Chain A
Amino acid sequence: MAPPANRRSGFSRRAQYSSFFSYAAGVIALLVGLVLVVVSVMHPDAFSTLRSAAADVTEPVGQTTAAGRATTRGVVASVTGFFTSGREHARLERELAEAKVRLVEAQATASENRRLKSLLDLRETDPVAVAFSRLTSSTGASARRFATIGVGRDRGVVKGMPVRSATGLVGRVLEVGASSARVLLITDTDSLVPIRRAKDGVPAFAHGYGDGTIRVRLINLGINPLKKGDVMVTSGSGGLYRPGTPMAIVTEVLRDGAIARVLSNPSDTDFVMVEKVWAPPLPPPHVAQPGEQ
């Protein structure tokens, strides 16, 4: 292909100047970018107002596309379900029979829990949910894992609130706008969640790895007790995340921890719930013992 129009400015003084100034402006744009990067590395919150405003503006469209995504998933599920329905039906019947037995056991446990809690004089405080929303968008093209939800200050969302779906923890609120909020997903490399193994409470940390999986780091070093298929739930230590929220399932055991798959895959998540920030209950008041100073 022949070269495009000759961009040599020739003898025209005007053309020479305009060419020079456009290159100078390009270099200035580069320097402005450098300054902006330095500022946002030093103060990550410096431009959060701008970002929130932009998210607020695009939020209605985001809601529409989120609904469209849900519809597409529904159609795909219907079509695949048509082919696998017989097999699935048999499997579900089997599982239902098992689940009925488990349900009776769970009811017994729940009633026992109630009884024990009433003995200890604990009571469930205020309701947990703050707001419900769809995940409207995410940063699919960046190494960071942020998502946007369609509720913000208008529904009482504040920074730090944990976000969960029906199947597990999704992340926590990072920046709040007027009608949208930015969520740090648990798969982001900046996210660190205290967890424990659901069955016996082996404590660990869940650290995002950036590729959709989670690294489980054990707190107690020594022999790695984790097994493939272990379910990890949040432990609530340090506050913020409510204890017992399902989080991840171990897929591969490493020498000092494990690789885990997130239970609540954000791409399959339709609605999420913003929860109140969890604060660990205060220790019981100290009662002076006789003979103590």
Chain B
Amino acid sequence: MPITRKGGKPTQRINRAPSPLVARTLPWLAIAIGSVLPGWVMIASAPVMPPLGFLLFLSWRQLRPGLLPIWSGLPLGMIDDLFSGQPFGSAVLLWSAAAIALDIVEVRLPWRNFLTEWLVAVCLIVVYIVFSLMLANLAGADAPLPVIMPQIVIAVLSYPLVGRLVALIDRLRLTPFVVIR
């Protein structure tokens, strides 16, 4: 009897492999879409949306270290900068720095669990949001620190959810559906 999903058609798993194109491009695509998405959800009059692109970037690097190369902050950060409203280059700088910092932490702390991963990510998220504000202030804005507090709280609390989302996309990425000849 074939393996069936609940109520669905029998899924054929034998003799199938994941598509290399999907497996390679899906993380990049997910992060790029994550950079554009917060702007569409609502017209915000205060910084309240979490920086979804950065959260996805961090989550991918934590779930699959080495899947995205360490220089991936350059192209992905550029896409984020086009839509984020920050001075151009701020995401390139901060994402690259975050990738390097995360790599150093992972060398020091090889054994991982949910708590350490979350704590490391929380530190990086808080530093990222504060530095983003400072770079925006350098480029002409004059926003005080309390303005970004709600955003920090929302970003920190939504990070585990983003992690679940990334795990889901990762399963999708490695679904075998291409027939091997």
Q: Select which of B36, B83, B96, B144 is within 8 A of A26 by beta carbon.
A: B96
Shortest CB distance B166–A (Å): 15
Q: Which residues of B contact A35 (CB under 8 A)?
A: 89
Shortest CB distance A65–B (Å): 4
A210 to B142, CA, bound (A): 8
Q: Select which of A7, A38, A143, A262 is within 8 A of B132 by beta carbon.
A: A143
Known contacts A33-B77, A141-B49, A143-B137, A47 near B88 by CB under 8 Å:
yes
Any A CB within 8 A of the CB of B168: no
Any A CB within 8 A of the CB of B147: yes
In the complex, are the beta carbons of A28 and B71 less than 8 A apart? yes
Shortest CB distance B17–A (Å): 20
Q: Select which of B50, B99, B112, B147 is within 8 A of A143 by beta carbon.
A: B147
Shortest CB distance B22–A (Å): 21
Known contacts A54-B82, A141-B38, A143-B143, A33 near B43 by CB under 8 Å:
no
A40 to B89, CA, bound (A): 8
Any A CB within 8 A of the CB of B100: yes
Any B CB within 8 A of the CB of A39: yes
Which of A119-127, A131-139, A282-290 lies at the interface?
A131-139
A210 to B99, CA, bound (A): 29
Any B CB within 8 A of the CB of A97: no
Contact residues on A (Cβ < 8 Å of other chain), bracket: 35 or more
Any B CB within 8 A of the CB of A25: yes
A143 to B48, CA, bound (A): 9
In the complex, are the beta carbons of B45 and A262 less than 8 A apart? yes
Q: Which residue of A lies closest to B134 (CB)?
A: A143
Any A CB within 8 A of the CB of B85: yes
Known contacts A22-B70, A25-B70, A185 near B82 by CB under 8 Å:
no
Q: Select which of B92, B137, B144, B151 is within 8 A of A33 by beta carbon.
A: B92
Q: Which residue of B lies closest to A61 (CB)?
A: B40
Shortest CB distance B51–A (Å): 4
A122 to B107, CA, bound (A): 76
Interface residues as binary, A183-216 with B (CB distance below 8 Å gives 1, 0 otherwise): 0010111100000000000000000011110000
Interface residues as binary, A30-69 with B (CB distance below 8 Å gives 1, 0 otherwise): 1011111111110010110011001100100110011001
Known contacts A139-B39, A190-B142, A144 near B46 by CB under 8 Å:
no
Chain B residues within CB distance 8 Å of chain A = 36, 38-52, 65-66, 69-71, 73-74, 77, 81-97, 99-100, 103, 110-113, 132-133, 135-144, 146-148, 151
Q: Top 10 closest A-B pairs, CB basis?
A: A36-B89, A139-B85, A33-B93, A33-B92, A140-B49, A210-B143, A26-B70, A137-B39, A140-B44, A3-B110
